[in-house]
Amino acid sequence: MDELHGYYFEDMKEGMTDVFGKTITDADIVAFAGVSGDTNPVHLNDEFAIPTMFKSRIAHGMLSASFISTVVGTKLPGPGCIYVSQSLRFKAPVRVGDTVMARVTVTKLIPEKKFVECKTVCTIGDKVVIDGEATVMVPSRNA
């Protein structure tokens, strides 16, 4: 089933990049709250959210961050890789109707461990809403 497999470590190069984009809907926020159990009213209740510093409901930060996992697990490196670590810095809120673009860029290869380090960024237009770094273990063709 090699056609289902993503990149092998031997195919990886610094500078490789891929993206995933999604426009956030109210249904996404409600579904994420249900799956995660995070029912913080700043995500679900207009009356609660309006007087906050955000002035309206916002999407869960981890909902947008999950789009980084989409890139890692389905595109770059893709199926077969395993997350080792992910750091995240939340820079700005995401709201219903915003289109979040998650980008993963390979920054370093660690051959002895078959690890790939990546820069991870989520944006809405030109605005960075999340930035961070990920380390991913990538299967070797020779394993």
Domain boundaries, the chain: 14-24+60-137
CATH superfamily of 14-24+60-137: Hotdog Thioesterase (3.10.129.10)
Query: What's the confidence (pLDDT) of residue 141?
Result: 87
Q: Could you tell me the pLDDT band of residue 25, with boundaries at 50, 70 and 90? A: very high
Residue 36, classed as helix, strand or coil, is helix
Q: Does 143 have pLDDT greater than 90?
A: no
Q: Does 102 have pLDDT greater than 50?
A: yes
Q: Could you tell me the pLDDT band of residue 2, with boundaries at 50, 70 and 90? A: low
What does residue 17 show for φ and ψ, rounded to 5 degrees? -145, 155
